[in-house]
C-alpha cells in the first residue's frame, strides 16, 4: 500500500512541478509536502528521492528541500535527445502514414487553437505532446517516444512557460500546420527541416521569460 501511495504522491508532486504549481526555487519540506498531498513521511520521502534523481528537487541534507530551477543547459541536452530521436522517425513515418494520420494531426492542431483561445496552457501542452507522439507512434517507435519523455522534465517546464508566458502558442500552431502539410505531401526532406527547426526554436522566448519570471527560475 505504501508503495502505491508513494507512486501516487510522486505523480502528483511531479505534475505540480512540471506545471509550476510548485515553482522553481520554492522550499518544499517533507512536512509541507505531507500537508499538501497527504501521506506519512515514508511515502513522501520515497517520492522526494525519485524526484531528486530526476533533477526536479534539490535536497540539502539537514537543511531544506527545494524545487530545482530550470537548467538551460539541461534543456538543451534534453531537446538534443528529443530532436535526434524524432527526426530519425521521419522516413518510417512517411512510409506508414495515411489519411487518418493527417486527419488526426489536423484535429490536434484545431484543439491547440481552442486551448490557446481559452488560455488553457496545460491542455495546449498536452495536445502538443500528442502531436509529436503521432510521429513516433506512426513510425512504430513508441519506445523512442517513451525514452524522450522520460528525460524531458526541464524541457517540459520550459515549454510550458514558453506557452503560458512567452507567447509561443501561435508560433507552435503555425509550425505544426507546416509539418502536417509536408507530411501530407510525403516530403520527408522538408518535414525533417521543419521539424528540426521547430524543435530547435526552444530558446526564442528565453530572454523574455528571464525578464518576466521571478529571480531563481533559471540557471545556466
Instruction: Report pLDDT for 140.
Output: 98
CA dihedral 171, 68, 83, 133 (to 10 degrees): -70
Same-domain check for residues 40 and 79: no
Please give the tally of structural domains in the chain.
2
Q: Distances from the Cα of 217 to the Cαs of 105, 157, 178, 187, in angstroms?
A: 33, 10, 32, 40
Q: Is there a single domain that holds both residue 56 and residue 115?
A: no
Task: Give the pLDDT confidence score for residue 1 in this predicted structure.
Answer: 44
- Which residue, 68, 84, 110, sits at the end of a domain? 68
Q: Which of 71, 68, 72, 161 is nearest to 122 (CA)?
A: 161
Show pLDDT as tens, one digit a residue, over the chain (220 residues).
Answer: 455 888 889 999 999 999 999 999 999 988 888 888 887 788 888 999 999 998 899 998 877 899 999 999 999 999 999 999 999 999 999 999 999 999 999 999 999 999 999 999 999 999 999 999 999 999 999 999 999 998 899 999 999 999 999 899 999 999 999 999 999 999 999 999 999 999 998 888 888 888 888 888 999 8
C-alpha cell at 7: 507512486
Q: How far apart are CA 22 and CA 24, in angstroms?
A: 7
Same domain, 54 and 120: no
Phi and psi at residue 71, in whole multiples of 5°?
A: -85, 115
- Helix, strand, coil: what percent of the chain each, to 5? 75, 5, 20
* 28 φ, ψ (degrees, to nearest 5): -135, 90
Number of H helices, E strands in the chain: 12, 4
Considering the domain architecture, whether residues 208 and 150 belong to the same structural domain is answered as yes
pLDDT of res. 2:
54
Any domain includes 62: yes
Separation CA 159–CA 192 (nearest Å): 21
CA-based max dimension of the chain = 59
Q: What is the reported pLDDT for 71?
A: 94
Show the domain range for 136. 72-213
Amino acid at each position: 500500500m505504501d508503495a502505491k501511495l508513494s507512486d501516487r504522491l510522486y505523480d502528483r508532486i511531479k505534475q505540480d512541478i512540471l506545471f509550476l504549481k510548485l515553482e522553481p526555487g520554492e522550499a518544499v519540506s517533507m512536512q509541507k509536502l505531507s500537508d499538501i498531498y497527504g501521506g506519512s513521511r515514508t511515502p513522501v520521502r520515497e517520492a522526494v528521492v525519485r524526484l531528486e534523481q530526476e533533477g526536479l528537487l534539490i535536497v540539502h541534507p539537514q537543511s531544506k528541500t527545494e524545487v530545482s530551477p530550470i537548467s538551460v543547459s539541461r534543456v538543451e541536452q534534453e531537446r538534443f535527445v528529443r530532436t535526434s530521436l524524432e527526426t530519425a522517425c521521419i522516413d518510417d513515418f512517411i512510409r506508414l502514414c495515411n489519411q487518418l494520420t493527417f486527419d488526426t494531426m489536423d484535429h490536434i492542431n484545431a484543439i491547440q487553437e481552442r486551448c490557446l483561445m481559452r488560455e488553457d496552457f496545460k491542455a495546449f501542452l498536452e495536445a502538443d505532446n500528442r502531436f509529436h507522439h503521432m510521429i513516433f507512434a506512426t513510425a512504430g517507435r513508441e519506445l523512442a517516444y517513451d525514452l524522450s519523455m522520460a528525460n524531458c522534465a526541464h524541457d517540459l517546464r520550459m515549454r510550458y512557460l514558453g506557452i503560458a508566458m512567452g507567447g509561443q502558442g501561435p508560433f507552435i500552431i503555425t509550425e505544426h500546420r507546416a509539418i502536417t502539410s509536408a507530411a501530407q505531401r510525403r516530403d520527408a526532406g522538408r518535414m525533417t527541416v521543419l521539424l528540426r527547426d521547430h524543435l530547435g526554436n526552444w530558446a526564442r522566448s528565453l530572454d523574455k521569460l528571464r525578464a518576466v519570471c521571478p529571480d531563481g527560475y533559471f540557471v545556466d
